[in-house]
Amino acid sequence: MGSAPLLAVRGLAVSFQRDRDGPVSRALRGVDLSVDESEIHGLVGESGCGKTVTSTAVMGLLASPPARIEDGSIVFEGRDLLGLSAEERRKVRGRQIAMVFQEPARYLNPSFRVGSQITEMLGLHLGMSRREAEARAVELAGLVGLGGARRVLQAYPHELSGGMKQRAMIAMAISCNPHLLIADEPTTALDVTLQLQILRLIARLREKFRMGILFISHDLRLVRTVADRVTVMYAGRAVETTSARELYRGALHPYTRLLLASIPAAQKRGTRLKVIPGRVPDAQAIPAGCAFHPRCPLAEDRCRAEMPESREHEPGHAASCHFVGKPWPD
């Protein structure tokens, strides 16, 4: 892997304010995240932790107002995206950074043929003629496993099954050979057998095109199987980043450890399913100190007062907790 990461998000802070005098939601409070070339990087957390805000910020699609970027940088291939004009950012979208969404049925336009939704990008970003773009669309459809490519491209989204829609969505996303693909819960809306097929497809495309993939999911188990590295988010911050393998063996942050313990498994049959007590804090009222302290079994006074900085405890394994390695109470 190269020295500089493909995407480096540093200290990204985003807040939302609906009304001028209304409450401020601190959706992101200094997120650090990096994706290397041809890496699948998993981004995990409960809903509301800021995964989608992070990816939307990377795409440059935060609506402002209500969103405001308070601080931080998003460096992609050496340039800070936050410094670009709206028009420059548009040219990055779809061309260098592409995105696949959770529910293909809702994210495809019902009134346009699948093919035209792919070819319009090729014309715009790569200046292809109509015929070139159509040939490329057929090629892409084959690539993502859409059998009978020509017929599928002529179809409207509602004429395709859920799995085919997601494949079409992926074909659209990779059409311009992007260097970074953001996949936001790409399999959540699909049934289990399809999930596996789509995951395999994503893994294969990474091999073939060597693109970096930011794989967003609430499902730690799923991310662990597909990702090379994983970042766990909690209340608008990245609390732990490590390799998927390391995550198995030795998660450091109490939140990650509790998440792992709450995964149901066949071996644990008969034992009580562990849940994390309490709930995710409201972004309008983040607890002082470490945001996780009200739910943390290790919390002490220091956690209530002082926000832990992220530290690298082993090479490539960072966590932000005052008491990494402290014995776990029963």
Contact set with another protein (CB under 8 A): 59, 61, 90-95, 98-99, 101, 103, 106-112, 120-121, 124-125, 156, 158-159, 169, 172
**Amino acid present at 318:** A
297 DSSP 8-state letter: T
CB of 74 to another protein, least distance (A): 15
Distance of CA 231 to the CA centre of its chain: 9
Dist. CA 58–CA 75, nearest whole Å: 9
CB of 125 to another protein, least distance (A): 6
Dist. CA 221–CA 216, nearest whole Å: 12
Task: Pick the closer one to another protein by CB: 121 or 296.
Answer: 121
Nearest to 114 by CA among 159, 177, 147: 159
Dist. CA 144–CA 167, nearest whole Å: 6
CB of 88 to another protein, least distance (A): 11
Cβ atoms within 10 Å, residue 44: 26
CB of 327 to another protein, least distance (A): 46
Task: Pick the closer one to another protein by CB: 27 or 121.
Answer: 121
| Cβ atoms of 253 and 321 closer than 8 Å | yes
Q: Provide DSSP, 125-138.
A: HH---HHHHHHHHH
CB of 102 to another protein, least distance (A): 9
CB of 296 to another protein, least distance (A): 35
Task: Pick the closer one to another protein by CB: 98 or 298.
Answer: 98
Dist. CA 281–CA 315, nearest whole Å: 31
145 DSSP 8-state letter: T
Look at the chain and count its residues.
Answer: 330
Task: Pick the closer one to another protein by CB: 58 or 321.
Answer: 58
Task: Pick the closer one to another protein by CB: 159 or 282.
Answer: 159
Task: Pick the closer one to another protein by CB: 160 or 298.
Answer: 160
Dist. CA 25–CA 16, nearest whole Å: 5
Task: Pick the closer one to another protein by CB: 9 or 296.
Answer: 9
| Cβ atoms of 168 and 146 closer than 8 Å | yes
CB of 164 to another protein, least distance (A): 16
Residues 6+ apart with CB under 8 A from 185: 101, 102, 216, 217, 218
